[in-house]
Amino acid sequence: MQLVAMAIYLALGDSISIDDYTGVRGGGAPSQLARKLGVNLVDLTRDGNTTQGVLGDLVAAPASADVVTLTAGGNDLLAGELPRATLRQLHQIALRIQALGARVVLNTIYDPSDGDNDVGRRELGLSRLATIALRRRLNAVNRGIASLAGKHGFLLADLERLFHGHGVTLNEPWFVNLIEPNLAGATAIAEQWYELLTSIETGGHRNRADRDPPYRPAGNGHSTGPSAASAAAFRRRGRSPGARRG
């Protein structure tokens, strides 16, 4: 009897990617994406993680993967780290994950204040100057992330743009605890990742940031198998979700 292995999806990063704040088991973006693609999730994400922490996490990463997502840099900003240092560490991470041979999705850092410095000052307890400095660092890191994605041929999920208009001051925000994605936010992220990963094979890409994604709960936490689109995408790459790994 020949053993069959599912394709591997490696999730790296911080609380943008974890289940905990969604209120649903399996509600985090990686958990939802793994079900959509019908792949085996290797989840190395954790609350409070930094770019330096991700570098350490890579020690436990598999030798190869089919899909990688990375959400990192936000906690570096909150800790006061300069963009240059954060981007240097992100570059080191990019080199490491590029060697895995996967399709990689990098993510910009969202802004719970929707660009309103007064909200940032009030919620974070920062001075006006400190708030302005934080925004400048956020903008610099997000520009650097976009540049890094282009340099390495990675996909870019612009979470700053995707989450704009769903900030903490609205009636139905995509955030809890000020900076964490709730179930609606995690669902939006998972859907953007899914579209980026599958649209390569279907001839173009629809940017979910151009419209509100529908709210759909994550389900019962069990894999429902790959969709037709995701299965086709992996087959064209030369490895289906149910194919034997050599």
What are the beta bridge partners of residue 71? Answer: 13
Whether 227 shows a pLDDT value over 70: the answer reads no
Phi-psi region of 122 (alpha: psi -120 to 50; beta: other; left: phi over 0): alpha
Count CA within 13 A, CB hemisphere, residue 128: 0
Instruction: Provide mean pLDDT across the span 189-212.
Output: 69
Q: Classify domain 8-235 at the CATH topology level.
A: Rossmann fold (3.40.50)
Pick from 54, 62, 46: nearest CA to 7: 62
Q: How confident is the model at residue 120 (pLDDT cuts 50, 70, 90)?
A: confident
Question: Which pLDDT belongs to residue 195?
Answer: 98
Question: Which pLDDT belongs to residue 4?
Answer: 54
CA distance 115 to 55: 30
Domain ranges of the chain: 8-235
Count CA within 13 A, CB hemisphere, residue 188: 28
